[in-house]
């Protein structure tokens, strides 16, 4: 059987751009005690940057893994998914240990207590003491994902959703409708409490296991919505004035019930909205990915899709400065996993530095902790991209005389020959 030649599909600039924006918003949301979080989209609507991350990850997964299922069969596709799950799992473990051990080491040094009395804020609030006070239970819980502190809950959710891709692809062999039925069925089961996962291996004060903050069996529906769009299972929606008006209406009507000041008991003017918000909680709750979150995100996504134009043409052609901005944001979106991993570490480090040096009350340190964090994320994206390009595999640049520019430290041909003769066999390269 002759394999058909694969043509590399160009990346959709909209996918990378909006995923990059989501990475910056997620960073802002994870900097502790950051007043910039009062102005992120989550404060004015039910959905937030998490939806952007999950939806765009579904689209990217369709591009990255769908072709493998098509060309090499279900078994090879499932093996590739397992490999990706393995990578994300160890990324989660490494990220957790860096933050947990770093915070506890700073605490043990006494600097947090002497300087700012921040132990309660940074160590206890992240629920990290169990790793040291109850190691024999917490460590196996960490490794088996039965202990998932709230700050570290997105990547475990992603691991479980990835595991569902082979099941969805298997169902799609029967029919696309069967794949949709499976995804919707899992979401419905999660809404009624039939599917969830324990976030702690011990019981809480109410004698129950705390659940994962992001129920993967609920959030998978959004992931596979993006997956289905890129697979062609769902056609691209038309640019329609009525649809635009309807989506704008959904976004505007949502604001009174999602606006951050509604949460505060001190704002008497919003009592009515607070009561309605409480009554419809199952429809916007984040853990089970309530229906209103889904509708709100789809409305925002449609408006962003229309605003970007066909193939993202409106993202380009607005001057060199804007073009550079778009390119940088897209680079961050292209490297979303390493950027996301770094963002949680950088967010904690930026907040600690801000609090220990200046305190939380000054506006300039708050601004710097955000802007310098953005620069750090951009640096991570470009470094990760450089490593992924494997520049060491490229042929060396040619000099003006037509000879390769080999560094002076490189052995000459004669020394290479002598080394091989002495060693007898060529030593394999490390890494």
Cα–Cα–Cα angle for 263, 265, 266, rounded to 5 degrees:
115
Domain boundary among 235, 254, 287: 235
Pair 269, 329 in one domain:
no
* 254-284 burial: b if 16+ Cβ within 10 Å, else e: beebbbeebeeeeeeebeebbeebeeeeebb
**Within-domain flag for 26:** yes
Position 56 confidence tier, pLDDT thresholds 50, 70, 90: very high
Domain of residue 143, residue span = 55-235
**Within-domain flag for 358:** yes
Cα-flanking dihedrals φ and ψ of residue 392, to 5°? Answer: -70, -15
Pair 322, 361 in one domain:
yes
Position 10 confidence tier, pLDDT thresholds 50, 70, 90: low
The DSSP secondary-structure symbol of 202 reads S
**Residue 247 near residue 302 (C-beta atoms within 8 A):** yes
Pair 280, 322 in one domain:
no
Q: How many CA atoms lie within 13 A of 153 on its CB side?
A: 23
**Within-domain flag for 256:** yes
**Within-domain flag for 422:** no
**Within-domain flag for 231:** yes
Domain boundary among 311, 337, 364: 311
Can you tell me which residue has the tokens 């001190």? 266
**Residue 255 near residue 239 (C-beta atoms within 8 A):** no
- Of residues 341, 350, 348, the one with CA closest to residue 375: 350
Using CA atoms of 403, 404, 409, 414 in order, give the dihedral in degrees to the nearest 10: -60
**Mean pLDDT rounded to a whole number for the chain:** 84
Examine the pLDDT at 273 and tell me if it is beyond 90.
no
Pair 193, 300 in one domain:
no
Domain boundary among 281, 311, 341: 311
Position 1 confidence tier, pLDDT thresholds 50, 70, 90: very low
Pair 85, 108 in one domain:
yes
**Within-domain flag for 329:** yes
Q: How far apart are CA 253 and CA 131, in angstroms?
A: 44
Q: How far apart are CA 351 and CA 35, in angstroms?
A: 12
Examine the pLDDT at 214 and tell me if it is beyond 90.
yes
Pair 263, 358 in one domain:
no
Q: What tens digit of pLDDT does each residue of 332-344 get?
A: 999 988 999 999 9
**Within-domain flag for 189:** yes
DSSP string of 153-168?
Answer: -HHHHHHHHHHHHHHH
Name the packing angle between helices 271-279 and 241-258 (round to 10°).
110
Residue 143 buriedness (CB in 10 A; 0-12 / 13-18 / 19+)? exposed
Pair 190, 93 in one domain:
yes
Pair 26, 94 in one domain:
no
Adjacent-strand bridge partners of 198: 211
Pair 33, 120 in one domain:
no
Q: What tens digit of pLDDT does each residue of 278-330 get?
A: 899 999 999 999 999 999 999 999 999 999 888 778 887 777 888 899 999 99
Q: How far apart are CA 140 and CA 412, in angstroms?
A: 52
Pair 226, 89 in one domain:
yes
**Other Cβ atoms within 10 Å of 101 Cβ, number:** 13
Count structural domains, the chain: 3
Pair 379, 245 in one domain:
no
**Within-domain flag for 73:** yes
Q: What residues have CB less than 8 Å from 120, skipping those under 6 apart? A: none
Pair 214, 145 in one domain:
yes
Using CA atoms of 155, 157, 159, 161 in order, give the dihedral in degrees to the nearest 10: -140
Q: What residues have CB less than 8 Å from 128, skipping those under 6 apart? A: 99, 100, 103, 104, 149
Q: What tens digit of pLDDT does each residue of 366-375 get?
A: 899 999 999 9
In the 3-class helix/strand/coil scheme, how is 57-122 assigned residue by residue?
HHHHHHHHHHHHHHHHHHHHHHHHHHHHHHHHHHHHHHHHHHHHHHHHHHHHCCHHHHHCCCHHHH
């Amino acid at each position: 059987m002759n394999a058909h030649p694969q043509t590399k599909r160009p990346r959709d600039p909209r996918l990378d751009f909006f995923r990059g924006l989501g990475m910056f918003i997620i960073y802002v949301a994870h900097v502790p005690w950051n007043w910039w979080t009062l102005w992120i989209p989550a404060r004015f609507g039910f959905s937030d940057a998490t939806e952007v991350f999950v939806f765009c990850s579904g689209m990217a997964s369709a591009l990255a893994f769908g072709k493998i299922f098509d060309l090499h069969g279900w078994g090879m596709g499932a093996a590739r998914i397992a490999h990706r799950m393995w990578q994300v799992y160890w990324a989660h473990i490494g990220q957790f240990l860096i933050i947990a051990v770093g915070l506890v080491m700073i605490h043990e040094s006494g600097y947090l207590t002497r300087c700012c009395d921040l132990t309660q804020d940074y160590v206890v609030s992240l629920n990290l003491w169990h790793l040291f006070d109850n190691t024999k239970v917490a460590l196996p819980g960490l490794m088996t994902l039965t202990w998932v502190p709230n700050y570290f809950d997105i990547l475990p959710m992603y691991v479980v959703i990835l595991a569902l891709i082979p099941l969805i692809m298997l169902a799609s062999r029967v029919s696309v409708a069967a794949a949709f039925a499976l995804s919707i069925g899992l979401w419905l089961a999660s809404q009624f409490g039939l599917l969830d996962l324990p976030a702690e291996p011990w019981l809480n004060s109410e004698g129950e296991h705390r659940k994962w903050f992001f129920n993967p069996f609920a959030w998978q529906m959004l992931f596979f919505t993006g997956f289905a769009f890129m697979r062609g299972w769902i056609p691209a929606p038309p640019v329609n004035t009525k649809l635009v008006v309807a989506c704008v209406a959904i976004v505007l009507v949502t604001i009174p019930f999602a606006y951050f000041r509604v949460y505060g008991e001190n704002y008497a003017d919003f009592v009515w909205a607070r009561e309605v918000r409480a009554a419809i909680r199952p429809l916007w709750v984040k853990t089970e990915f309530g229906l209103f979150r889904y509708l709100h995100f789809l409305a925002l996504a449609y408006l962003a899709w229309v605003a970007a134009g066909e193939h993202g043409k409106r993202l380009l052609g607005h001057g060199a400065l804007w073009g550079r901005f778009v390119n940088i944001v897209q680079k961050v979106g292209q490297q979303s996993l390493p950027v996301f991993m770094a963002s949680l570490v950088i967010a904690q480090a930026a907040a600690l530095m801000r609090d220990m040096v200046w305190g939380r009350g000054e506006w300039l340190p708050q601004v710097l902790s955000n802007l310098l964090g953005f620069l750090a994320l951009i640096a991570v994206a470009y470094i990760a991209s450089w490593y992924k390009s494997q520049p060491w595999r490229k042929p060396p640049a040619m000099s003006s005389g037509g000879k390769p520019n080999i560094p002076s430290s490189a052995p000459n041909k004669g020394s290479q020959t002598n080394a091989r003769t002495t060693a007898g066999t060529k030593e394999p390269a490390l890494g």
